[in-house]
Structure 1
Amino acid sequence: MAQAQVLDARNGQKSTLELEGRLFETEPKEHVIHRAVVVELDRRRRWTASTKGRSQVAGSGAKLYRQKGTGRARAGDIKSPIRVGGGTWGGPRPKHARYGKKINKKEARAAFYGALSAKARDGEIFVLDSLRFEEPSTKAAKRILEQLEVRGPVLLVVTDEDQNAALSFRNLPEVTIVGPNGYGVYELLTHREVVFSRAAYQALVRRNEGVS
């Protein structure tokens, strides 16, 4: 059974927490985790790449010069796609409907559980007790990470109750701060350690209780 190291942020005392249940005891399946990451990244695309066609480019619609007698190729207006500053032909347009990758809920859940279980198995999950900052302090936040002996990059999961803590950790270069619902498989894989505040850990467990 995997364990998480627990640190009391007030006095530096350490203890352990048993990590039980499917959240931390699911066998990771590489192909499912890969598919989940592809879907997560696909859903984060903004789909707003856009270029202007000739009807959207500013410029005169008059013919540049007469059709015959100049010795030059026949030309239309200055907004032609073959001219510098003209409209673009066949360029990207904003997509109002997404036709990207898909994954069903059961697979997505299995991928998340598998990634979290891998972190638990490798001893890379930590819980912070009494994460109460009377005022933001980057110095205090750095001291807490030193006590945890993490190498980073660190994914710090906090709740709205931990706002001063979030302000304290955000200036540390190897720390990414997210809310209880602000991370997925991709974040778990791209950070070496995952540190939960006690409230965030309890929210994670509650959210996944009774999920089939």
Structure 2
Amino acid sequence: MAEAKVYDAQSGESSTLSLSGPQFESEPRNHVIHRAVVTELDARRRYTASTKGRVDVTGSGAKLYRQKGTGRARAGDIKPPNRVGGGTWGGPSPKPDRYGKRINRKEARAAFFEALSDKAGNGNIHLVDSLSFDAPSTKRAKEILSGMGVEGRTLLVVTDSDQNAELSFRNLPEVELVYSGDYGVYEVMRATNVVFSREAYDRVAAIGQRRAE
């Protein structure tokens, strides 16, 4: 059974917590995790790339000059890609569209649990008790990470809505702070360590318990 390191931000004491449940004991499958990451990133695209084809640009559709007898190459209307002001050939779709990356809910949930299980199996899940700040303090945030032994690594810090915590961690380039429910497989996998506040961990544990029931 995997274990998480628990750090008390007030006293500086450390302990361990056994991680149980499907969210920490699932067998990671690379192809499922990959599908989830690709789908998540696809959903975040803005899809604003657009070009005008020859049917979209302004211009007459009449043939420019007669077919023979002019000494020039044959030509149709004024809107082909090889003419100045003509339509684009081979560019993005004239109208923004999605690439159709999809994943069903059951597989997405499994991928999330498997990503957490991968971190748990490697000992990269950490908990912080009393992760609260009376006032924003980047210095205090660095002290907490240093006390946990994870300072300088790529971190995903998961907490409940705490503006002071967000303001404290956001100046640390190696840290990405997210709120419960606002992160997915991509955030979990790109981080070396995942640090949960006690409240955020309880939320994840409750999800696994509901699934087990």
174-183 or 43-52, which deviates more: 43-52
Letter in 1 for 2:27: E
Name the counterpart of 1:26. Answer: 26
| Preserved contact between residue 43 and residue 100 of structure 1 (Cα < 8 Å) | no
Q: 1:171 deviation in Å?
A: 1.0
Between the aligned partners of 1:174 and 1:109, the Cα distance in structure 2 is 27
Name the counterpart of 1:180. Answer: 180
Name the counterpart of 1:88. Answer: 88
Runs of 4+ in structure 1 displaced over 3 angstroms?
Answer: 53-58, 60-63, 65-80
The aligned length equals 209
Letter in 2 for 1:44: R
Secondary structure in structure 1 of the residue aligned to 2:167: helix
Name the counterpart of 2:202. Answer: 202
TM-score (norm 2): 0.82
Tell me the alpha carbon deviations over residues 17-63 of structure 1, each in whole angstroms, 9 at most, x when there is no partner.
Answer: 221111111121223222222322333333332012346557x7699
Secondary structure in structure 2 of the residue aligned to 1:210: helix
In structure 2, stretches of 5+ residues that fail to align are none
Matches within 5 A, 1:65-144: 72-73=72-73, 80-93=80-93, 94-96=95-97, 98=98, 100-144=100-144
Q: 1:95 deviation in Å?
A: 4.0
Between the aligned partners of 1:145 and 1:70, the Cα distance in structure 2 is 79
Q: 1:72 deviation in Å?
A: 4.8
Name the counterpart of 2:160. Answer: 159
Secondary structure in structure 1 of the residue aligned to 2:211: coil
85-94 or 44-53, which deviates more: 85-94
In structure 1, stretches of 5+ residues that fail to align are none
120-129 or 34-43, which deviates more: 34-43
| Preserved contact between residue 159 and residue 196 of structure 2 (Cα < 8 Å) | yes
Shift of the 69–171 alpha-carbon distance from structure 1 to 2, 3 Å rule, reads farther
Between the aligned partners of 1:80 and 1:104, the Cα distance in structure 2 is 42
Between the aligned partners of 1:175 and 1:189, the Cα distance in structure 2 is 14
What fraction of aligned residue pairs are identical, expressed as a percent?
59
Q: 1:165 deviation in Å?
A: 0.6
Tell me how large the CA RMSD over aligned residues is.
Answer: 2.8
TM-score (norm 1): 0.82
Name the counterpart of 1:14. Answer: 14
